[in-house]
Chains A and B, each alone.
Chain A
């Protein structure tokens, strides 16, 4: 049974899962929607990842572009899938993914099949992690908040 409070957090994780599965769907070129729609999906995904890469969630322009990763927890999920402890660490991986999404959009024939599959697997892993958190939202105080508080800066 979901509690009402949990449902707010769950909706955010669902946003990440839907995003990731839809990008994977576009990379594989399924026939669930029109081809033109997949181009838009890829365009949107590139915009979202560029916003994540720019790394300033308190900037209004960036925040609007972040969409499924607008929340701190959702960005942490992405970083953990990329096996990165910080955004600085993840930037080169995100740039590479953006490059592959751009190639899929503009010159799909030039894209190496293994590269495509590797990125699909990253998005599937991201969707799976988000689904896990949807069903078991992390409880308690986020690690970042705990660490900041423990550094003891009470004035």
Chain B
């Protein structure tokens, strides 16, 4: 070999060595953890993929070093391939440890099963039933996180190494993130339905359109909001600039889509828990409720849309009996008008840490005009399916409360076979509003005193028990279903 070849080969070897060591370590971490911990079956599929793609990467890096490098262009391509693999692993590795940490002891399995059940009932997914691996997040504020599309990463690995279909993820695999601090909680984890919304936004395809075209939601949204964008920017002279504006606003529309989707799927418990959660994290602030961020619209828009949808759905009766206090608090604190479809455009709509004061509010106006399209899209995706309480909520609610206030797991109410998950949604909402109430009767029965005279530790423990009884009931009901 010439001195040039020696130099080039040595350089490539050093470059390949870094990802080689890094990928080997990651593969070993997964293998070791699987030796001592048990993971949900969908997470196992993801971890199988990680180990397999790690093996392929190591083989590929080895093969790459045996390639001839007669020209600088050859060297450039090989350096580029190494950089691509390292970049793909940079994205994938973010997901590996959180999934490894989400073993069966740290995952609210009945909630995850319920989310999957709802998705299965609702989505006619050509890729098959939803497969949802779970990751444990360190962030509490998980509804504000945008996850990278797992299938996108997989595609880059396949194309970079020419793997064809040799190693693939289940096409319907997504990842749901649960904050570790929520652990086995039920009510707080109803926020997972918002995460499911992102999964649906990525995966939903309309196969019915003419010419056998398959249209995804991003494309459908772009087609439908184009008039709204053009009405504010009549001078847009090419499609690229139109799309630049669309992409700028898209994350805001997607968040509203996911919020409304979650309200359809699980009902008012989503909005109330989201509100409760934003209060816990100190995120809600009347002065900041108008601020738009790069990835999220303002809280006032988000809650305004949800509250109005709830009043349109069959949940309005439920709310008037049980949850009106929470919804009224949201309305009052965020100054949301009765008809919040007519959103007020704030004077200073952007987070000053993101955009300077005085930046034109036109994107927010376009966003507001496009919300009607987002509502339509949610309805289109939901089709005939609407997440509303089945049958007589009043009667169900009464029986569920009766069980809970006597310290009885409400499974007994569901002895007959169910053909949909709707009544579990009723159960969650009913139990949630029950544990928001003073629960005087339950305190009397269990502790022999009123709720007002009980120490906070006992109060918290008993409310936790209500959550656990409800979770147990859901777990029992899920036994009736073939997942």
Contact = CB atoms under 8 A, between A and B. Distances in A.
A8 B91 CA distance: 9
Interface in B140-179: 145-149, 152-153, 155-156, 159-160, 162, 164
Interface in A122-155: 124, 127-128, 131, 134-135, 140-142, 144-145, 147-155
B71 A117 contact: yes
Contacts of A21: 77, 80-81, 84, 160
B242 A58 contact: yes
Given A117-B71, A141-B355, A149-B360, A17 B84 contact: yes
B74 interface: yes
Interface string B52-73: 0000000010011001100101
Given A37-B162, A149-B360, A153-B232, A11 B156 contact: yes
Given A11-B152, A14-B84, A149-B363, A72 B243 contact: yes
Contacts of A148: 233, 235-236, 241, 244-245, 362
A75 B242 CA distance: 13
A145 B245 contact: yes
A155 B74 CA distance: 55
A15 interface: yes
Contact of A86 (B71, B149, B238, B244): B238
A141 B360 CA distance: 12
Nearest to A146: B359
Contacts of A109: none
A11 B148 contact: yes
Given A58-B226, A71-B247, A18 B74 contact: no
A57 B240 contact: yes
Nearest to A30: B67
A117 B160 contact: no
B282 interface: no
B257 to A, nearest CB: 16
A115 interface: no
B454 interface: no
B153 to A, nearest CB: 6
A23 to B, nearest CB: 10
A12 B145 CA distance: 17
Contact of A124 (B77, B156, B247): B77
Contact of A4 (B73, B147, B359, B363): B147
A97 B9 CA distance: 30
Overall SS of chain B's interface = helix
Given A11-B152, A31-B67, A153-B235, A144 B84 contact: no
| B68, B243, B295, most chain A CB atoms within 10 A | B243
Contacts of A58: 222-223, 226, 239, 242-243, 246
Contacts, number: 187
A18 B159 contact: yes
Nearest to B75: A124
A26 B448 CA distance: 79
B413 interface: no
A140 to B, nearest CB: 8
A145 B87 contact: no
Nearest to B148: A7
Contacts of A141: 248, 355, 359
Interface residues on A, range: 35 or more
Given A32-B162, A155-B231, A142 B81 contact: no
B94 A7 contact: yes
A81 B37 CA distance: 49
Interface in A1-43: 2, 4-5, 7-8, 10-12, 14-15, 17-22, 24-25, 28, 30-34, 37
A55 interface: yes
Given A4-B147, A134-B87, A142-B248, A152 B240 contact: no
A33 B162 contact: yes
B362 A149 contact: yes
B415 interface: no
A87 interface: yes
B94 A145 contact: no
A103 B355 CA distance: 48
Given A5-B145, A153-B233, 18 more contacts: A11-B152, A14-B91, A17-B87, A31-B68, A34-B162, A57-B222, A60-B223, A61-B211, A64-B213, A87-B240, A124-B77, A127-B80, A145-B363, A148-B235, A149-B359, A149-B360, A152-B360, A155-B232
30 contacts: A5-B295, A7-B148, A11-B153, A18-B156, A21-B77, A30-B67, A30-B74, A30-B77, A32-B60, A32-B63, A34-B162, A37-B164, A55-B240, A56-B239, A58-B246, A60-B215, A73-B247, A76-B240, A87-B240, A120-B76, A127-B80, A144-B244, A145-B363, A148-B233, A148-B235, A148-B236, A149-B360, A151-B235, A155-B231, A155-B365
Interface of B: 60, 63-64, 67-68, 71, 73-74, 76-77, 80-81, 83-84, 87-88, 90-91, 94, 145-149, 152-153, 155-156, 159-160, 162, 164, 209, 211, 213-215, 219, 222-223, 226, 231-236, 238-248, 294-295, 355, 359-363, 365
Top-4 shortest CB links A-B: A33-B162, A144-B244, A21-B80, A149-B360
